[in-house]
């Protein structure tokens, strides 16, 4: 349980879902964690839970689409812990609509939160990592960043871009000993998945049952995805960079 002992992790979208599960898991494996999120009610509680379990954590309120907030999130992490070793760009939203039905504002918001945030947080974290000898960046993409999905045009566009941004960053920053990878989750039982059912006007039970139609016969849990993130954050993946790791219960297998 010490794969990340002494490491410093900054995780966006860490107040719920995959981000929350990853923050708790990283802390239990020895990392100090900066909880970055807009949720000023839940975020501090996650940091408090980590500290109650003997770990180190801070809460950093951040709008990941805002450059000033992203720079401050990195600066606050460095002030609290001295550096940033792991950046997990996990914050994300979804708007279920075609390009005809989506408004320009809805399109822009999805692209800003899902894609621009990866650019901004990485922009400010990479110089810090390089100055301390390297680090690792993990980006949350999606299975729908590799194949298309119906009524999710802005989401698919943003996640497909995250996959290729990950590869470009891996090439650019390997000389600085910075590894960059992304995770492509399948349907995972998070608040965002349940919001999809609401957006589509579907009964939640039916929606989740249909999402479980994959070889392993279930949807993912936040903890499933957190374990993949732990692998990419840890020395176990020391020779891994530029990959899109699919974690979807076999949904894209065939």
Spot the catalytic one: 26, 81, 88, 155.
155
**pTM, whole model, 2 decimals?**
0.97
The domains of the chain, with CATH numbers, are: 8-188+221-246 (3.40.50.720)
- CA–CA separation, 76 vs 15, rounded Å? 17
Q: Per residue of the chain (254 residues), what is the pLDDT tens digit?
A: 799 999 999 999 999 999 999 999 999 999 999 999 999 999 999 999 999 999 999 999 999 999 999 999 999 999 999 999 999 999 999 999 999 999 999 999 999 999 999 999 999 999 999 999 999 999 999 999 999 999 999 999 999 999 999 999 999 999 999 999 999 999 999 999 999 999 999 999 999 999 999 999 999 999 999 999 999 999 999 999 999 999 999 999 98
DSSP-assigned states of every residue in 146-179 = TS--TT-HHHHHHHHHHHHHHHHHHHHHGGGTEE
In this structure, are residues 94 and 155 in contact, taking their beta carbons and an 8 Å threshold? yes
Q: Packing angle between helix 191-200 and helix 204-211, nearest 10 degrees? A: 120
Active site residue 124: no
Rg (CA), the chain: 17
- CA–CA separation, 251 vs 39, rounded Å? 31
């Amino acid at each position: 349980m010490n794969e990340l002992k002494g490491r410093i992790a900054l995780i966006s979208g860490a107040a719920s879902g995959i981000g929350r599960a990853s923050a708790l898991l990283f802390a239990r494996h020895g990392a100090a964690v900066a909880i970055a999120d807009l949720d000023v009610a839940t975020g501090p509680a996650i940091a408090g839970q980590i500290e109650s379990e003997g770990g180190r954590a801070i809460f950093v309120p951040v709008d990941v689409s805002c450059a000033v907030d992203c720079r401050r999130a990195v600066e606050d992490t460095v002030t609290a812990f001295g550096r940033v070793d792991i950046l997990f760009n996990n914050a994300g939203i979804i708007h279920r609509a075609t390009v005809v039905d989506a408004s320009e504002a809805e399109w822009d918001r999805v692209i800003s939160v899902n894609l621009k945030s990866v650019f901004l947080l990485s922009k400010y974290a990479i110089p810090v990592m390089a100055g301390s000898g390297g680090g690792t960046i993990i980006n949350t993409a999606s299975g729908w960043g590799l194949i298309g999905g119906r009524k999710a045009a802005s989401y698919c566009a943003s996640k497909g871009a995250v996959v290729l941004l990950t590869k470009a960053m891996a090439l650019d920053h390997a000389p600085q000993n910075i590894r960059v990878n992304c995770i492509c989750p399948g349907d995972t039982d998070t608040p965002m998945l349940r919001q999809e059912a609401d957006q589509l006007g579907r009964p939640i039970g039916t929606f989740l049952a249909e999402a479980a139609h994959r070889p392993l016969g279930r949807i993912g849990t936040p903890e499933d995805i957190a374990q993949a993130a732990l692998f990419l954050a840890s020395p176990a993946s020391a020779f891994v960079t530029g990959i899109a790791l699919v974690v979807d219960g076999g949904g894209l297998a065939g």
